[in-house]
Amino acid sequence: MEWAKLHSDARFNLASSGVASYPLADFVSAGWLRLESLELTAPGAYGYEPLQRALGAKAGVSPDSVVAAAGTSMANHLAMAAAFEPGDEVLIEQPTYELLVTTAEYLGANVRRFARRAEEGFRLDPAIIKAAITPRTRLVMITNLHNPSSAFTDEATLRDVGEIAKSAGARVLVDEFYLEALYSTAWRTAFHLGDHFIVTSSLTKAYGLSGLRCGWVLAAPELARAMWCINDLYGVNAAHPAELLSVIALDHLNEIAARYAKLLEVNRPIVNRFLDACPHIEVARQPHGTVLFPRLRAGESEGFCSYLRERFDTSVVP
Ligand SMILES: Cc1ncc(COP(=O)(O)O)c(C=O)c1O
C-alpha cells in the first residue's frame, strides 16, 4: 500500500485498479444534492439508519446483517477481528490482495496459504482448499473477482467451499470488492449462501467513489453486532456528510454504474489489442473487472518495472 501511495504515480499509470473518480459536481448538476441538505453530525448509533437500509436493500439482506465500515479495508479488518482469535489458523488464497494477509497477521492469525494456479486461469479450486483445511482453521479467505487476476468464482463453487469450511468448523470471508464491477450482469452476494459466509465490499473502485469510504460487511446478526463493538475501538462513528452522500450514491447507483460500464466496454477491446501486440507477456484475459495479472515470459519484474518507468514514464505493479 505504501508503494501504491508513494511510488506508483506516472504519466501512464497502469498500476491503479479503479475507474476514474466520480465528481461531486455531477451529484449537484444531476439535482441529486443540495448543499443545505448536508449536515455535519447525526445522533451517534450503530449505523446511520438510511444508509443501513440502503446497503441492506442493495444486497437483499436485513439491515441487522449490515455493518457499515470505512471502506472494504476496515470492513475486512472488522470481519477478521470478529471471526478468529489470535493464534487461530486462517487459510488465504495465493496470490491475493496483500493487505488481507498482513491484516490477518496483525490480528495474530496463524496464516496458511492455498494456491490459485496461473495455469488454470487462477480459478478457485475447492479440492485444493479441502486438502489444506484443518480442524484448527477458523476462516477461509478469498476475493471475488479475484485480485489480482479478475477471475470470477460462481455460486456452485462458492457453495462447495462453504460446505468444506462448515464441516471443519470454519467460516468463509469473501471480499467482493471487484464483483461490483460486473455492474448490470446478474450476480448475488455470497452472503445468501448461508450464515457461515461473511462478505465485505465498498463503493470504492467500481463506482469511482473512493472518497466516500463507503464500505460494508454482511454477516449473521450476532456476528455483525460484535463487529460494531470492535468498530468502536477505531472510529466510533463515520463522518456524517459521507454517510449522507453515500445514501445519495446508493439511490442513484444504476446511473453511476451505467457510466462506468460504458467506459469499460470501450476500454476493454483497447487493452486486448494492446495485449495482442505484446508477445513478451502472457495473461489470462477476462470479460469483466478492472485489473489483469500479466506474467513476463522472461526476465524479472523489478527490472522491467524500472525500465518502463525510466524509459516510458509508465508504472505497473511489480
Ligand atoms: C480486494 C480488495 N479489497 C479491499 C480493498 C480496499 O478497499 P477500500 O479502498 O474500499 O478500503 C482493495 C483495494 O484495492 C482490494 O483490491
Question: What are the pLDDT digits (tens) for 228-270?
Answer: 999 999 988 999 999 999 999 999 999 999 999 999 999 999 9
**Å from CA of 203 to ligand 1 middle:** 10
Burial class (CB in 10 A: 0-12, 13-18, 19+), 20: exposed
Give residue 1's pLDDT. 86
Q: What percent of the chain has pLDDT over 90?
A: 89
pLDDT above 90 (res 16): no
277-295 pLDDT, tens per residue?
999 999 989 999 999 999 9
All three cell numbers of 30, joined, read: 444531476
Judge if pTM exceeds 0.85. yes
Tell me: pLDDT of 186 over 80: no
Atom of ligand 1 nearest to the CA of 70: 11
pLDDT at 208 over 80: yes
Grid cell digits, residue 301: 519484474
Nearest Cα residue to 151 out of 306, 293, 274: 293
Q: Which three cell numbers stand for residue 192?
A: 445468501
d(CA 178, CA 92): 17
Q: Above 90 in pLDDT, residue 122?
A: yes
Cell of 48: 446511520
Residue 121 has pLDDT above 80, yes or no: yes
C-alpha cell at 309: 518507468
Q: Which of 251, 292, 250 is nearest to 268 (CA)?
A: 292
Pocket of ligand 1 (CB under 6 A): 17, 71-73, 97, 143, 147, 175, 177, 202, 204, 210, 215
The position carrying cell 450503530 is 46
Cell of 191: 452472503
CA–centroid distance, 279 to ligand 1, in Å, is: 31
Could you tell me the sign of the dihedral formed by the alpha carbons of 281, 286, 290, 291, in that order? negative
- Report the first-to-last Cα separation within the chain, whole angstroms: 12
